[in-house]
Structure 1
């Protein structure tokens, strides 16, 4: 199975669900080579998504235009403060 099919099978449904519910999907374990495939799949499903790897835990955030990059940075900081990392 190639990386795009792997992303379709293992990540796409969760990403769509989170984007539909919250406008943002967080993934701290996706590889850099696979993130582009997930972004492409989301675009193929009609979503206009921005994606960044944000500190402090360097999670990948896939998000709609409801969020600015600064919003995502602020949310990432709050997530870090609330996590056990």
Structure 2
């Protein structure tokens, strides 16, 4: 028997949402889609978009990451790259 009684477990509760650098208001789907398209074509939020794509690819096992850095073949192109060109 352990020396210390087992502490009751506590539920972890998240208050608020995680940081969202893009911050799109999705309540109006069509307005949101139009703003996303405009932002993508203009290059606005390019780094945040690349980070989201990188995160999704990592979660889906579509990228190899060592020490938090994507392998050279997975590194993103510059801000001039279109979204359909991002590997």
Higher strand share: 1
Question: Higher relative contact order at CA 8 Å, sep ≥6: structure 1 or structure 2?
Answer: 1
User: Shared fold (TM-score greater than 0.5)?
Assistant: no
